[in-house]
């Protein structure tokens, strides 16, 4: 059976929690088994970590009561180290299944530094997904060895063939 995943709050996460809840309910009703939510980066940068954590918790509840997975995209390329740490804690406290580096539409993708930071600050139930920045099989293997459970790349076929790719 193939898992169906969709993104909620794409691309910048700026919509209201109510809008994200509607998107999530609709996606789950239409067969999604996994939801990738984009945090409200603007609210986080404004210092409203509590808002972001409450929003994550609301979507965790919708997903988990239906036995589905929630991945939280924090868009690391826009965040300070302190904001990344705050999101590790928020994702953990809210009970999300994954923390994910990027949407692929920001200014940068996953870095090893971010994955190592996640590993240090997430709880034991939170898995990691590195998305973007995977340019070679060596990159992919390094992210997996660092503890990532999943890799997000639009270049999977090239990587499987052993070809490096350009871009982030």
In the numeric block, the tokens 């939170």 are attached to: 126
3-state secondary structure 96-137: CCEEECCCCCCCCCCCHHHHHHHHHHCCCCCEEEEECCCCCH
Instruction: List the catalytic residue out of 20, 68, 84, 129.
Output: 129
Instruction: List the catalytic residue out of 20, 68, 84, 100.
Output: 100
* Six-digit token string for 3: 């898992």
Q: Is residue 129 flagged as an active site residue?
A: yes
Cβ atoms of residues 44 and 7 within 8 Å:
no
| Burial (Cβ within 10 Å: 0-12, 13-18, ≥19) of residue 117 | middle
Q: Is residue 25 flagged as an active site residue?
A: no
* Six-digit token string for 99: 């923390």
Cβ atoms of residues 76 and 105 within 8 Å:
no
Q: Is residue 100 flagged as an active site residue?
A: yes
Q: Annotated catalytic sites, by residue?
A: 36, 100, 129
């Amino acid at each position: 059976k193939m898992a169906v995943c969709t993104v909620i709050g794409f691309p910048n996460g700026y919509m209201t929690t109510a809008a994200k809840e509607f998107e999530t309910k609709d996606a789950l009703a239409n067969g999604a088994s996994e939801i990738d939510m984009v945090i409200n980066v603007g609210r986080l940068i404004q210092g409203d970590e509590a808002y972001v954590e409450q929003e994550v918790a609301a979507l965790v509840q919708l997903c988990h009561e239906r036995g589905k997975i929630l991945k939280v995209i924090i868009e690391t390329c826009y965040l300070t180290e302190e904001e990344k740490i705050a999101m590790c804690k928020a994702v953990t406290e809210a009970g999300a299944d994954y923390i994910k580096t990027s949407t692929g539409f920001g200014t940068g993708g996953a870095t090893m530094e971010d994955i190592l930071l996640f590993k240090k600050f997430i709880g034991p139930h939170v898995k990691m997904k590195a998305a973007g920045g995977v340019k070679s099989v060596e990159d992919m293997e390094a992210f997996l060895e660092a503890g990532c459970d999943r890799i997000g790349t639009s270049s999977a076929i090239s990587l499987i063939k052993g070809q490096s790719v350009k871009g982030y």
